[in-house]
């Protein structure tokens, strides 16, 4: 910007022009003096511009940090407000550990950042005041008070999160304790049910009525014990339902084990009912066998009475024996009804197609058939003996009736013989006529009585011809009576 007033040749002379040189030097002095003033003014302007730029940078930094901090606070509040906790004790413990890490690591760093923001704003405002500038005031939503309010909400959300985590932790601990209780009870129930299944699967009922009745009483005690145990099984179901309501995390395993306990319980009930049916069948069979024994004993007693060799000593005695025999026959008929009932019951309950299909046989069918056959044969023999005794008694009555009638005829003959043996033939006509009249009447009576005598005699002949057990006595009686 300086004009070239002199050349080098103008100065490189023996006597240069002093005024020209002084003028040129003064020109340089004024030029450089003016340049110094401009440099000072530029520095001042640069300083002001630099301060303004620094303030703008600090403002931008403040606003950026404030926005980031507020975004973090809001995001953290949302995260802390999430109540979808892990559905397990370990998961909740991990969430509690993450929460603790947040409080010890993440939050303190943000708290320091919040303090730095306050320092930054204070420093910025102080600089602006010192430069006689209007202090920077953050716009609405990015003020320190807004940060403090957001921080307070963060503190509240943090407190609520901690309480919720603690409550969920306690709930999960209780659920784990409840699950442990369920597992313990389920294990006990499974063991008990399995042992009782083995118990009721045994059919050691015995082979006589007393043993089977004792087994029946024992079975009733087992049934009572098992039915009382049902409440304990329902306790397992109730605990499972409680865990399900509380949404326990391992619910599939709990449900499967509950179903197993329920299945074992139902199967035990089926085994118990089936064992009762088998026991009732065995008891029915032994009762039938016992009834057979009672019937056979009664038959033996009656048989002794039927084999008595007493058919009466006279007509009244025979009639008395026949009356007694009629009572025996009535007893035999009752026994016959009992035999029929026992045989039909055995046939229906143990030998029918339905019984064969059922699959369980309390006894070998051959044994049942043998006992039925023994009973029927004994009853048949008893009936045969009863028929034979009645026949002998009837024959005895027939003989004694004949004997009684022949005695009457004998007495009648003796009586008439005494009449005709009288030697009185009368002393006058009147007496003789009277005796003749009586004699004709006697002859008429004898003639009219002869058919009766012949009828009785025919009975005697029949006894002889039939070779009756008293045929000899009947023949002798006939000869004695008819010879008169």
Write the pLDDT tens digit of every residue in 209-259: 888 889 899 999 999 999 999 999 999 999 999 999 999 999 999 999 999
Q: What is the Cα–Cα distance from 466 to 482, expressed in whole angstroms?
A: 20
Query: How many beta carbons lie within 10 A of that of residue 226, not counting itself?
Result: 20
For residue 335, count CB atoms less than 10 angstroms from its CB and return exposed for 0-12, middle for 13-18, buried for 19 or more: buried
**Structure confidence at residue 113 (pLDDT):** 92
**Structure confidence at residue 295 (pLDDT):** 94
Query: Is 352 a residue whose pLDDT tops 90?
Result: no
More confident residue, 178 or 458: 178
Q: What is the Cα–Cα distance from 305 to 312, expressed in whole angstroms?
A: 14
Question: Could you say which DSSP state residue 135 is in?
Answer: P
Q: Which of 10-14, 51-55, 241-245, 261-265 has the lowest mean pLDDT?
A: 10-14
Please check whether residue 99 is in contact with residue 165, taking contact to mean a CB–CB distance below 8 angstroms: yes
The tokens for 42 are: 């530029």
Please check whether residue 254 is in contact with residue 182, taking contact to mean a CB–CB distance below 8 angstroms: yes
Q: In whole angstroms, how far apart are CA 78 and each of 71, 75, 151, 153, 161?
A: 11, 5, 13, 11, 11
Q: What is the Cα–Cα distance from 345 to 286, expressed in whole angstroms?
A: 12
Residues 84-98: tens digit of each pLDDT: 888 889 999 999 999
Query: Is 478 a residue whose pLDDT tops 60?
Result: yes
Residues 95-152: tens digit of each pLDDT: 999 999 999 999 999 999 999 989 988 888 888 888 777 888 888 888 889 999 999 9
Residue whose entry in the numeric block shows the structure tokens 């129930």: 189
**Structure confidence at residue 451 (pLDDT):** 73
Percent of the chain with pLDDT over 90: 43
**Structure confidence at residue 335 (pLDDT):** 93
Please check whether residue 92 is in contact with residue 174, taking contact to mean a CB–CB distance below 8 angstroms: no
More confident residue, 209 or 41: 209
Percent of the chain with pLDDT over 70: 78
Query: How many beta carbons lie within 10 A of that of residue 205, not counting itself?
Result: 23
Residues 375-427: tens digit of each pLDDT: 999 999 999 999 988 888 877 777 677 667 676 666 676 766 666 666 666 66
Residues whose CB falls within 8 Å of the CB of residue 96, separated by 6 or more in sequence, listed in order:
165, 166, 169
Q: What is the Cα–Cα distance from 404 to 412, expressed in whole angstroms?
A: 12
Residue 357 confidence class, pLDDT cut points 50, 70, 90 = very low
Query: How many beta carbons lie within 10 A of that of residue 128, not counting itself?
Result: 18
**Structure confidence at residue 48 (pLDDT):** 60
**Structure confidence at residue 300 (pLDDT):** 93
More confident residue, 395 or 357: 395
Residue 72 confidence class, pLDDT cut points 50, 70, 90 = very high
Q: What is the Cα–Cα distance from 43 to 39, expressed in whole angstroms?
A: 6
pTM value > 0.75: no
Residues 418-462: tens digit of each pLDDT: 666 666 666 677 776 776 777 777 667 667 767 776 777 777 666
Helix (H, G, I), strand (E, B) or coil at 434: helix
> Containing H/E element for 395?
helix 365-420
The tokens for 70 are: 């507020």
Beta-strand runs (E) in 149-200? none
Q: CA angle, 107 as apex, 105 and 110 as ends, to 5°?
A: 110
Mean predicted lDDT score pLDDT of the chain: 83
Residue whose entry in the numeric block shows the structure tokens 């007509």: 315
Region 349-353: mean pLDDT is 76
């Amino acid at each position: 910007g300086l004009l070239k007033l002199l050349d080098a040749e103008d100065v490189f002379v023996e006597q240069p022009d002093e005024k020209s040189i002084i003028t040129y030097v003064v020109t340089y002095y004024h030029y450089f003096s003016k340049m110094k003033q401009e440099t000072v003014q530029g520095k001042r302007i640069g300083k002001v511009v630099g301060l303004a730029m620094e303030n703008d940078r600090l403002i931008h930094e403040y606003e950026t940090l404030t926005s980031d901090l507020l975004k973090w606070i809001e995001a953290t509040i949302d995260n802390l407000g999430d109540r979808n906790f892990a559905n397990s004790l370990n998961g909740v413990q991990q969430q509690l550990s993450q929460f603790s890490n947040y409080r010890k690591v993440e939050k303190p760093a943000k708290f320091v950042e919040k303090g730095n923001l306050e320092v930054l704003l204070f420093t910025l405002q102080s600089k602006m005041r010192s430069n006689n500038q209007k202090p920077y005031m953050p716009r609405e939503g990015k003020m320190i008070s807004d940060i403090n309010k957001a921080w307070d909400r963060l503190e509240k959300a943090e407190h609520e999160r901690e309480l919720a985590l603690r409550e969920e932790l306690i709930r999960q601990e209780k659920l784990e304790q409840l699950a442990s209780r369920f597992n313990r009870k389920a294990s006990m129930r499974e063991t008990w049910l399995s042992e009782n299944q083995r118990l009721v699967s045994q059919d050691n009922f015995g082979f006589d009525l007393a043993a089977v009745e004792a087994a029946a009483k024992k079975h009733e005690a087992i049934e009572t014990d098992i039915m009382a145990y049902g409440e304990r099984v329902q306790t397992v179901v109730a605990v499972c339902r409680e865990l399900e309501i509380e949404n326990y995390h391992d619910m599939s395993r709990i449900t499967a084990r509950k179903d197993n306990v329920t299945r074992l319980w139902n199967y035990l009930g089926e085994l118990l009912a089936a064992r009762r049916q088998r026991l009732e069948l065995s008891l029915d069979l032994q009762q039938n066998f016992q009834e057979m024994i009672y019937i056979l004993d009664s038959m033996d007693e009656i048989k002794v009475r039927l084999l008595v060799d007493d058919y009466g000593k006279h007509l009244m005695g025979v009639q008395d024996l026949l009356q007694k025999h009629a009572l025996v026959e009535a007893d035999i008929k009752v026994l016959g009804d009992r035999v029929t009932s026992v045989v039909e019951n055995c046939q229906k309950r143990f030998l029918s197609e339905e019984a064969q299909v059922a699959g369980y046989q309390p006894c070998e069918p051959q044994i049942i058939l043998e006992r039925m056959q023994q009973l029927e044969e004994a009853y048949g023999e008893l009936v045969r003996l009863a028929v034979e005794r009645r026949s002998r008694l009837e024959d005895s009555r027939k003989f004694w009736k004949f004997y009684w009638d022949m005695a009457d005829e004998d007495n009648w003959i003796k009586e008439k013989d005494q009449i005709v043996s009288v030697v009185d033939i009368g002393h006058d006509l009147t007496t003789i006529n009277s005796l003749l009249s009586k004699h004709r009447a006697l002859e008429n009576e004898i003639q009219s009585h002869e058919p009766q005598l012949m009828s009785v005699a025919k009975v005697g002949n029949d006894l002889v011809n039939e070779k009756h057990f008293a045929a000899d006595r009947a023949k002798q009686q006939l000869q004695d009576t008819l010879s008169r």
